[in-house]
């Protein structure tokens, strides 16, 4: 079966971030990912990873005001210097912690913004990020996010991710294939995985609707996991779902069944 990581930004949130590493290891995970790890010092994260024999697979470049409802950084004309500063904030974390992938969030099209200008800005910024992270042996990924959860998000389907990768034309720029977001946009996940697997740097998953654990919705994750295992994909699959009121440990039946 695929190799699974626990996304510590959504899982084990019953605990402070520093304590989630131990919880992930106790649950049986060998690796974790964190959307924005910057509340902890590099030394703190390194200590937790070493103590619990975990790999940190993925982090995000800081996204400015995106998570607070703003437009973000990467695809916003006029915010190029802020984006470069964000990349430089992520760089020492990625290098020191042995991160495999750093993800770039495109951001929202400003209400008065020109879409083509935004996409040109995103392409240039994605290329800059890829060049920067390549210098320390790290892959850069670009993620599509559905426009129901995040209206006006600039990149929200597979074709758009492919277009940015083609335009940026950088060997270490890949897709972050989030099954939940793409299913929300009506993508055929099995077909899309087969068509684009060589361009995928990281996979994430949650069920639909509700963004819950596999088995709580309509997506056939046993079949998807079998397909991923059959495809030429050597990366990790990140469990990035909302575990529900019963807590993370109670949501892990899908994981325990595959260990």
Spatial distance between the Cα atoms of 209 and 259, rounded to a whole number of angstroms: 25
23 CA to centre of own chain: 20
Q: Is 190 a catalytic residue?
A: no
Which candidate in 143, 163, 230, 249 is catalytic?
143
249 CA to centre of own chain: 22
Q: Is 240 a catalytic residue?
A: yes
The answer to whether the beta carbons of residues 2 and 237 sit under 8 Å apart is: yes
* Closest to 80 in 3D by CA, of 36, 128, 114: 128
Q: Which residues have C-beta within 8 Å of that of residue 254, sequence separation ≥ 6?
A: 213, 214, 215, 221
Which candidate in 33, 48, 187, 240 is catalytic?
240
Angle at 67 between CA 130 and CA 124, to 5 degrees: 25
How would DSSP label each residue in 186-228? T--HHHHHHHHGGGEEEEEE--TTTT--TTSSS--HHHHHHHH
Strands 173-178 and 139-143: parallel
Active site residues: 143, 240
């Amino acid at each position: 079966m695929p190799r699974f990581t626990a996304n510590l930004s959504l899982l084990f949130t019953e605990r402070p971030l520093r304590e989630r590493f131990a919880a992930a290891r106790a649950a049986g995970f060998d690796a974790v990912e964190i959307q924005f790890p910057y509340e902890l010092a590099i030394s703190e994260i390194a200590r937790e990873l070493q103590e619990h024999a975990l790999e940190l697979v993925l982090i995000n470049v800081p996204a400015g005001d995106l998570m607070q409802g703003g437009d973000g950084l990467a695809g916003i004309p006029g915010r190029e210097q802020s984006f470069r500063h964000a990349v430089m904030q992520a760089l020492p974390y990625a290098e020191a912690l042995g991160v495999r992938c750093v993800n770039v969030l495109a951001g929202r099209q400003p209400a008065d913004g020109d879409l083509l200008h935004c996409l040109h800005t995103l392409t240039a910024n994605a290329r800059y990020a890829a060049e920067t992270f390549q210098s320390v042996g790290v892959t850069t990924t670009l993620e599509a996010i559905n426009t129901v959860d995040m209206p006006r998000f600039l990149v929200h389907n597979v074709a758009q991710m492919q277009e940015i990768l083609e335009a940026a034309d950088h060997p270490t720029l890949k897709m972050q294939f989030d099954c939940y977001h793409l299913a929300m946009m009506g993508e055929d996940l099995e077909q899309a995985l087969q068509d684009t697997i060589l361009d995928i740097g990281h996979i994430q998953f949650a069920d639909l609707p509700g963004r819950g654990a596999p088995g709580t919705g309509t997506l056939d994750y046993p079949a998807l996991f079998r397909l991923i295992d059959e495809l030429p994909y050597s990366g990790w699959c990140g469990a990035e779902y909302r575990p529900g009121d019963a807590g993370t440990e109670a949501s892990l039946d899908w994981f325990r069944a595959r260990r």
